A and B are shown apart, each in its own frame.
Chain A
């Protein structure tokens, strides 16, 4: 999965939903929602790419959060080689780590005794701290958490997280749209 999907948070959310007893459809939908942030990243990155549609589609694949952020230049363009290079390092460690876990995971002991069920949520907390920089993002995070908690006892596994994504519709408010517009203008139009 790490070799052909290469999108950590999407892989984790899909696996988490399966672990909670959710179905394949819910798991794939959660991964797709989690990955939807690559749409605007791809749109921002696109003008820095050369070549035809197929070549551009392939060049879009190495985009992950960290390398995308590293390669962003202040004028809105991207250092292509820096993005591909940092993604190559991340990809190699990601696949190696997955293989080590799969091969020797058994020898490491019972994941429950090791407290490994706390690892994914803790990792998500760390990512969330990175995402929730604005007051609006923090509000949306709180709303998402509340929706999920309210639905956990009554909805099938996987559904609470999917429905919680509706909290992002706060983005439709006029204030939220103006913030995005201001940020885009501050960054300058991508070339």
Chain B
């Protein structure tokens, strides 16, 4: 099996299990507070790490480039307008414009 097929199958199984876990396991039982407390903070930690490792690095090298500027402009648009659409349209547009210069 190719890596792609393994990853897709793995993600499908893992996602199914995670989404099924709550509805199946909960018989009036709740997750302990410390668990919920960690889980709600996983999303910001992971998203920030993904942004940093993609926008501020090139492979295994820290690098600032046209994509960094594009992401910054897109992020600013998302922050000011609350529009994800504006953000994902602006970021590549700015990056492409800078590369075309």
A-side interface residues toward B, CB under 8 Å? Answer: 1, 4-7, 9-14, 16, 18, 20-21, 23-24, 27-28, 30-47, 49, 53, 56-61, 63, 112-129, 131-132, 136-138, 140-149, 152-153, 157, 160-161, 164-172, 176-177, 179-181, 184
B57 and A152: CB pair below 8 A? yes
Distance of A117 Cα from B3 Cα, bound (Å): 21
B11 and A117: CB pair below 8 A? no
A40 and B36: CB pair below 8 A? yes
Q: Shortest beta-carbon distance, A100 to chain B, in Å?
A: 16
Which of B38, B46, B90, B95 has the largest count of A CB atoms less than 10 A from its CB?
A: B46
Look across to chain B and name the residue whose beta carbon is closest to the beta carbon of A11: B11
Distance of A41 Cα from B86 Cα, bound (Å): 28
Contacts of B52 in A (CB 8 A): 144-146, 148-149
A141 and B47: CB pair below 8 A? yes
Knowing A30-B46, A145-B51, say if A177 contacts B95 (CB, 8 Å): no
Distance of A153 Cα from B57 Cα, bound (Å): 9
9 A-B pairs whose Cβ atoms sit less than 8 Å apart in the complex: A14-B7, A16-B50, A18-B7, A28-B6, A63-B19, A144-B48, A148-B49, A149-B56, A165-B45
Contacts of B49 in A (CB 8 A): 144-145, 147-148, 160-161, 164-165, 167
5 tightest Cβ-Cβ pairs between the two chains A and B: A42-B22, A115-B95, A122-B91, A164-B49, A122-B74
Look across to chain A and name the residue whose beta carbon is closest to the beta carbon of B50: A124
